Amino acid sequence: MKITLATIGRFKSAECERLVANYLKLAGRFATFEHAELAAPKGVPESESQDAALERFLEKRGSRVFLTLLDERGKPFESRDFAARVEKIKDGSFTEWVIAVGGAHGYGPELKARAQLQWSLSPLTFPHELAAAVAAEQVYRALTILAGHPYHNN
């Protein structure tokens, strides 16, 4: 199963972009993990543009996608519990796991209803680039836990 971290627009922070790239590379030992920067459509209000960009992206992926939205009101996990969830996703009949990191406006009700998981990284609110880096690290951490790699215990 392929894992895709989907963000809206290009990163403005080179540091966050490097962090994401580093965790994608590290996770590559355990899974195919990539980053997709989605372009927001022109002429659409900002509050709707990320939904439109993500919908367009998902249409190209087919129907066997497990969609996770990062959301401050989503489900929080401890690392081992998250690893167990990742294992269930990997064992499901999905071809791809898309983890979507939105902007300041959050996602609309249609996308929230479509998502199989709304995931909260923390009760704190993060800039979307930092949230992408934290999400990438947590996916890497979960994959190492499942593989019995010592990263989580260091």
pLDDT, tens digit, 9 for 90 and up, residues 10-49? 899 999 999 999 999 999 999 999 999 998 777 777 767 8
| Number of CB atoms found within 10 A of residue 114's CB | 14
Between CA 106 and CA 117 the distance in angstroms is 14
Query: How many Å separate Cα 38 from the centre of its chain?
Result: 13
Q: What pLDDT shows up at residue 154?
A: 63
Per-residue pLDDT of 114-123, as tens digits, reads 999 999 999 9
Domain of residue 80: give its range: 2-153
Between CA 146 and CA 140 the distance in angstroms is 10
CB 119 within 8 A of CB 71: yes
Q: Between residues 5 and 103, which one has the greater pLDDT?
A: 5
Residue with the two structure tokens 């209000």 = 45
**Over residues 72-95, mean pLDDT:** 96
Q: Which residues pair with 6 in a beta bridge?
A: 36, 100
Q: Which of 42-51, 121-130, 143-152 has the lowest mean pLDDT?
A: 42-51
Tally of domains in the chain = 1
Residue 89's CATH number: 3.40.1280.10
**Over residues 87-108, mean pLDDT:** 92
